[in-house]
Amino acid sequence: MQRRNFLKTLGGTPLVGLAPYLKNKTIIKPARLKVGDTIGLVCPAAPAYSKEKVKILVESMEALGLKVKFGKHIWERYGYLAGRDAERAADINDFFKDTSISGIVCMHGGWGCARLLPYLDYDLIRQNPKVIIGYSDITALLLGIHSQTGLVTFHGPEGAATWNTFTVDYFKSVLMKAEATLFKNPSIIGDNLTVVKDRINTLYEGMATGRLLGGNLTVLCHLIGSNYLPDWTDAVFFCEDVDEAPYSMDRMITHLKLSGILEKIKGFVFGKCTECYPSSGEYSYGSLTLEDVWEDHIRPLKKPAFSGAMIGHISHKFTIPIGINASIDANLGTIQLSESAVV
């Protein structure tokens, strides 16, 4: 079913004619990235503060055999944003329209992507499906675009990420090799007696299969009540966050529960909560831990669930497709794609 009466008003104002997410919307897979393809670099939220980081990104893409074209406004500054909303959205619309561009990489997160959602041309995006990837605040774009078009989007490294072997291997497996990838944490013991780093914590045993949906928890929660979230029925929900105290995580997981999302899902995967310590001051006394939060809210669901996946504000990360069916094994802490995410 297509959206009707899609109009664009004059003066850089938002596009209108938005349709809510349809449960039976056809899933659209973008074309895989190939050596020689050109990536469009955009700043949909924070500006490109560091020319050196942009240069590192360009060199990293070139090492993968990809070329880079800059969005017109990546060097713009409007406070903590890379230019006005209409300008940042125009870079995204332009790259989806540009036939020389095969994929879009977001340079930074920060804040500002949700402000772009009314400005995106979803008919254009649906008719010109391409890879778009990022994490953190980019969650708003990934979920908004997927919910409105059915396009598979990708929660993974952004331009300023560390393009190490672990990250690159999953990026290539999902986006270039078109594999039905198995996502599994590293299990390096080193000189310890057991695995200490990047451990999996099984919250509720079992296996589950469903569409992968999720992203940054804070950003996602701020979209609840809008038309820019997908239908969560039978989904495998994944999320991550950074610099949030346990009480804040408790509040957001409670929000998911009260909104009915947790009731609908088939399984739950939490990645990393980087720098998520109790807040300082009197309110830190007797703080719950994240493990307590999972015990209070996730384990009682009696649905397969685990935490510790390589998803989040970390240097070594998975590239997770949004909208593709996958199976999780909460005992092993693995995610297995049921099919390729690109064609």
If you search the block for the tokens 């499906």, which residue do you land on? 129
Of 60, 136, 147, 340, the catalytic one is 136
Of 146, 240, 297, 307, the catalytic one is 240
Q: Which amino acid, 302?
A: K
- Is residue 215 within 8 A of residue 241, CB to CB? The reply is no
- The total of other beta-carbon atoms located within 10 Å of residue 58's CB is 17
Token representation of residue 281: 């001051």
- Is residue 181 within 8 A of residue 170, CB to CB? The reply is yes
240 in catalytic set? yes
100 in catalytic set? no
- Is residue 93 within 8 A of residue 120, CB to CB? The reply is yes
Angle ∠(190,271,294) on CA atoms, nearest 5: 110
Distance (Å, rounded) from C-alpha 329 to C-alpha 153? 23
- CA atoms in the 13 A half-sphere facing the CB of 249: 31
Of 155, 297, 313, 316, the catalytic one is 313
CA 332 from centre of chain: 23
CA distances from 40 to 19, 72, 106, 142, 194 (A): 27, 10, 8, 16, 43
CA distances from 231 to 31, 147, 211, 319, 333 (A): 24, 8, 10, 22, 25
Distance (Å, rounded) from C-alpha 243 to C-alpha 278? 10
Q: Which amino acid, 71?
A: G
Give catalytic residues, as residue numbers. Answer: 136, 240, 313
